[in-house]
A and B are shown apart, each in its own frame.
Chain A
Amino acid sequence: MTLPAPDAMSDTISKIELIDATDKILKQISEELHIGLNAEEMRAVQKYFTKKGRNPTDVELQTLGQTWSEHCFHKTFKGDVITEKGKIQSLFKTYIESVTKELKKPWCISVFEDNAGIIQLNNDYAIAAKVETHNHPSAIEPFGGAATGVGGAIRDILGVWADPIACTNVLGFGPLDTSYAELPSGIKHPKYLLRGVVAGIGCYGNNMGIPTVNGAIIFDKSYVGNVVVYCGCIGLLPIKKFAKDAKAKDIILLVGGRTGRDGIHGVTFASAELTEKSEEVSRPAVQIANPIEEEKLKRAIIEVRDKELASGITDLGGGGLSSAAGEMAHRFVCGVNLHLENVPLKTSSLAPWEIYISESQERMLLLIPKENLRKALVIFRKEDVEATPIGELTDDKILTVFHKDSIVAKLDMDFLFSPPKTERSAKWAPLILMDPFLTEPREFNSIILEMLALPNISSRENVVCTYDYEVKGNTVLKPLFGRIGGPSDAAVIKPLDESWKGITISCGINPSYGKIDPYWMAASAIDEAIRNNTATGGRRIALLDNFVWGNPEKPSNLGSLVKACQACNVVARGFETPFISGKDSLYNESPLGSVTPTLLVTAVGIIPDIRKTVSLDLKTPGNPIYLLGKTFRELGGSEYYRKKGFVGSSVPKVRVKKAKNTVDTLIKAQDKGLVRACHDLSEGGLGVAAAEMAISGNYGITLNLKDILRTKDVDRNDFALFSESNSRFLVEVPEILNSEFESTMKNVPCAHVGEVIEESCLVVYGFNGNKIIDVRNQELVKAWKSFLGKE
């Protein structure tokens, strides 16, 4: 079919004079249509249409703008990177995917292919996992931005036929005491953002009845201009029901909410920098959330799955129909015919290109073999969910979009999915930093209380309790656990009624280290995610990587990204933990500059029997306390330095061979029943970890610093207490089993450093044997709960 003559075309679409346009005009067109294509890409488009001998329609250009955007196509991770050491062909393939390929874990069912990573749970069931970012929308409209972030992650799980069973979120804000004077115009205050984002996340998860079980909140100056919102979801699916076998002639069924003008140009907005104008220019890019619609949608989709009526599925996220329809056809090596006039609209005034790229929420695409269509429609009607056939797959590998009687877009799939490869240069210049000279404090009682009250350490109770972490009744280890409710290292979910097998979900993130060295920041994030998971009994761990970075067109940003990717490669391989899914959010820029390079690592493990789950709260007075792992003088980027206003240079490193041995042996000890309580050492080091264990169990704990395994240069009490060296755990061991524990740990750095005591207080003896800390639990709790308590 050839394109009809202009007069036959619907008046709601316009053709753009592209063929004879100069580079200057091309640039103009890209800007006026907000399609965010660069000069080279525009020239490629021009070349294509010149060959076709016609000008493109607005729908076609918009489609290319969406499909080729950083958000949809991940140019930076797929493109070439030029470094001093030569060319890297695709960061993703070279550093991330290669780990998974080399490890060849048989339990990885589908990785980096579909909307979410899929791993085996048992013979019949699989776990699906996905984490997304929703930073820019949340910066403009925190409630809607965060809520739709959760909704999107959930739809990604539905997009692999999985039933969402748990949500996670990790949030980054500027300091809450930022003065309004410091805020550039157009930037909202961190307090306002915090309230909005937390409310949005709670609204979606709670309303849909999916427990929000794990997460973190980080405060960092570099997030003032560009809030960070990670939303994750974990799902469960019967392996046999994973349908992915669509063919030409299968019906494309659009299900869920109606299509409106909300969420226009979301992806191009996500792939651009935030500016003073973002508020007015990009407000329409933020979608409106309706969790109840998605709740109904979920029920219908699960029934369609169980009755095996569909041959394919994908969610409508970034790019809306334009990217979903294209990607779906591409996945099955087909073409596609779409009829936009059949799309149910919120308002009739939408132009075809708006219908095609709108990112209105709670919508999904299903592929249904003709013979099953009626049965499928009945299911959606039963749940009061709209379901509309809007087209079909074809065998011609051409994307053809109709509106009423005219063709509004006709593109070759091969062209649509082969944008010009980007080539960017990376340059990493190590920063000149040094550790500060601090005099050793005389008295530590006030210091430990100050540490517990720090923004990045204090209790999250006032946020966590606004999330329903109990719904579905399968939450074994809750975000707050023990008699007082201390911070659990990971969440443990029991997804199957007929089995004791559990899923352990944890995360690792520490942007402060990124200020010193993105390599060790990434390495530490992986180590933290894994040790959090191991502390509760999780093993056979799979990782998700989510990068939040500044503009990759700046060589220094790309340079630090390369370093982080290299760390992911080395450390994940060392731990034998494959990456199963990931996402990058680049262009996190504001008038205040780039965000600190931030990698969130989410770890999903399994525990064979949830009755063996280990929590952090102290259990029995008289039990010995052991410290696993060696303490180095690594306070660079630590909370202790930050409290004193320094960054430092001695960033925590990961000795991955030793680290792996430690976590593997700890699991052995747990399985032998030698571990009553366990907590990992992270922000605030040994001092804070011990305090948190005491708080949660409401017993006391004693520590002898002279007994901890450490390097010579850890020669001061404050270094020993607050160094943030990786791969360390505090472990409570049943008194009668301590010798068996010690023999199990013979090849692991392990020292008996203290006891659980009846009297509920934290007691620490310094190197010279003097008591340097003696604080009652009530005071610890008061300090720990003081910070967000005030909000």
Chain B
Amino acid sequence: MNRNEIKVCIIRTAGTNCDAETKRACQNSGMNAEIVHINELAKNNTLLDYDLLVIPGGFSHGDYVRAGAIWAKQILAKLGRDIEKFANEERPILGICNGFQVLIEAGLLPKFNGIAPFPEAALGTNFPIGYNCRWTYLRHENKGTCVFISKIPPSRVVQIPVAHSEGRFIFKKENENEYLEKLKGNDQLVFRYCHENGKYAAGGFPENPNGSLHDIAGICDPTGTIFGLMPHPERAYFGWQLPTWTSCERMPLFGDGKIIFDSIAEYILGKI
């Protein structure tokens, strides 16, 4: 099987707005991606025709109530059984920004013991408060579980931008420590906000742009096949997208975001 036989579903609903560039990223990594409205997906129940599901960024249904909450319920209501099957077969699911918020709200992350009936974590209002669009440094924290970053060397620092107002990863205070230990124990930590030199942000702004617990920028489920992150890898795919590319003698061809899409393509090829 070649990469171009990998079928990617980029799902959208009202308010999704990063679908086009996410599709472009998947295709530039050789995969065969299409953008499908959730209504179409539900009507023709075709979700299981795909090898990869990507929930892209945006403001699904205006992000009223809580960011991602409405779309999460919509997905469970319209695609519940298919999503469960998709996940149980360890077909990879990627949630970017609003997609990460959806995965949390849908109980698909952190998914300590199976799909949770209610959110086990939350992506709270940024601290400092407000929408924030800026480039961040992320440190690769995973020890091999997450299939989306297999091609990134351990503890390597990557540069990818964030843009959100609700990205502060938190647990309920009473089980904060327990759950954080679980994340570490299950090797579910994937990216943590850090300085250019790899030193953890330790909650400091702007390196940690939203006040996330433990500088968490992205996590995966215990199987490593469901991955959610606040930063936008599709916005760091090409060299000309980078914030300082003009200072390079020659323009770099690609940015760090590309490795994520390449890794997932490799995983799917290996799996099938």
- With the chains together, A237 CA to B58 CA distance in Å? 23
- With the chains together, A290 CA to B40 CA distance in Å? 24
For B57, the closest partner residue in chain A by CB is A471
Given the contacts A468-B131, A473-B21, A619 and B247 also touching, CB distance less than 8 Å: yes
Q: Which residues on the A side are within 8 Å of B113 (C-beta)?
A: none
Q: Which residues on the B side are within 8 Å of A109 (C-beta)?
A: none
**Is B102 located at the chain interface by the 8 A CB criterion?**
no
For A290, the closest partner residue in chain B by CB is B62
For B40, the closest partner residue in chain A by CB is A382
Q: Which of B37, B39, B133 contacts A470 (CB 8 A)?
A: B133
**Is B14 located at the chain interface by the 8 A CB criterion?**
yes
Are A473's CB and B24's CB within 8 A? yes
Task: Annotate B44-72 by CB proximity to A: 1 below 8 A, 0 otherwise.
Answer: 00000000000001110110000000000
Task: Annotate B1-31 by CB proximity to A: 1 below 8 A, 0 otherwise.
Answer: 0000000000000110110110011000000
Are B133's CB and A483's CB within 8 A? no
**Is B163 located at the chain interface by the 8 A CB criterion?**
yes
**Is A172 located at the chain interface by the 8 A CB criterion?**
no
Q: Which residues on the A side are within 8 Å of B241 (C-beta)?
A: 470, 473, 475-476
**Is A36 located at the chain interface by the 8 A CB criterion?**
no
Given the contacts A206-B131, A466-B132, A471 and B237 also touching, CB distance less than 8 Å: no
Are B244's CB and A209's CB within 8 A? no
Q: Which residues on the A side are within 8 Å of B232 (C-beta)?
A: 470, 473
**Is A202 located at the chain interface by the 8 A CB criterion?**
yes
**Is A63 located at the chain interface by the 8 A CB criterion?**
no
Tell me the residues in window 493-507 of chain A with beta carbons closer than 8 Å to chain B beta carbons: 494, 497
Tell me the residues in window 586-643 of chain A with beta carbons closer than 8 Å to chain B beta carbons: 610-611, 613-615, 617, 619
Are A209's CB and B58's CB within 8 A? yes
Q: Which residues on the A side are within 8 Å of B15 (C-beta)?
A: 207, 292, 295
- With the chains together, A379 CA to B243 CA distance in Å? 38
Are B24's CB and A497's CB within 8 A? yes
Are B235's CB and A208's CB within 8 A? no
Chain A CB within 10 A, most for which of B24, B61, B131? B131
Tell me the residues in window 88-114 of chain A with beta carbons closer than 8 Å to chain B beta carbons: none
Tell me the residues in window 127-166 of chain A with beta carbons closer than 8 Å to chain B beta carbons: none
Are A465's CB and B132's CB within 8 A? yes
Min CB distance A58 to B, Å, is 36
Are B247's CB and A482's CB within 8 A? yes
For B232, the closest partner residue in chain A by CB is A470
Task: Annotate B234-267 by CB proximity to A: 1 below 8 A, 0 otherwise.
Answer: 1101001101101100010000000000000000
Q: Which residues on the B side are within 8 Å of A483 (C-beta)?
A: 244, 247
Q: Which residues on the A side are within 8 Å of B131 (C-beta)?
A: 202, 206, 465-468
**Is A469 located at the chain interface by the 8 A CB criterion?**
yes
**Is A697 located at the chain interface by the 8 A CB criterion?**
yes
**Is B81 located at the chain interface by the 8 A CB criterion?**
no
Q: Which residues on the B side are within 8 Å of A477 (C-beta)?
A: 246
Given the contacts A470-B163, A481-B243, A483-B244, A292 and B133 also touching, CB distance less than 8 Å: no
- With the chains together, A54 CA to B164 CA distance in Å? 59
Q: Which residues on the A side are within 8 Å of B247 (C-beta)?
A: 482-483, 615, 617, 619, 697
For B246, the closest partner residue in chain A by CB is A615
- With the chains together, A617 CA to B40 CA distance in Å? 48
Are B246's CB and A614's CB within 8 A? yes
Are B134's CB and A465's CB within 8 A? yes
- With the chains together, A208 CA to B14 CA distance in Å? 10
For A469, the closest partner residue in chain B by CB is B133
Q: Which of A464, A470, A610 contacts B161 (CB 8 A)?
A: A470
Q: Which residues on the B side are within 8 Å of A478 (C-beta)?
A: 243
Q: Which residues on the A side are within 8 Å of B62 (C-beta)?
A: 207, 290-292
Residues of A within 8 A of B (CB): 202, 206-209, 290-292, 295-296, 382-384, 464-478, 481-483, 485, 494, 497, 610-611, 613-615, 617, 619, 697
Q: List 22 A-B contacts (CB under 8 A).
A: A206-B131, A209-B58, A292-B61, A292-B62, A295-B59, A382-B39, A382-B40, A465-B133, A465-B134, A466-B132, A466-B133, A467-B133, A468-B131, A468-B133, A470-B133, A470-B161, A471-B57, A473-B235, A473-B237, A615-B246, A617-B244, A619-B247
Identify the 7 closest CB pairs spanning chains A and B, nearest first. Answer: A209-B17, A473-B21, A615-B246, A207-B59, A292-B62, A468-B163, A292-B15
Residues of B within 8 A of A (CB): 14-15, 17-18, 20-21, 24-25, 37, 39-40, 57-59, 61-62, 130-134, 161, 163, 232, 234-235, 237, 240-241, 243-244, 246-247, 251
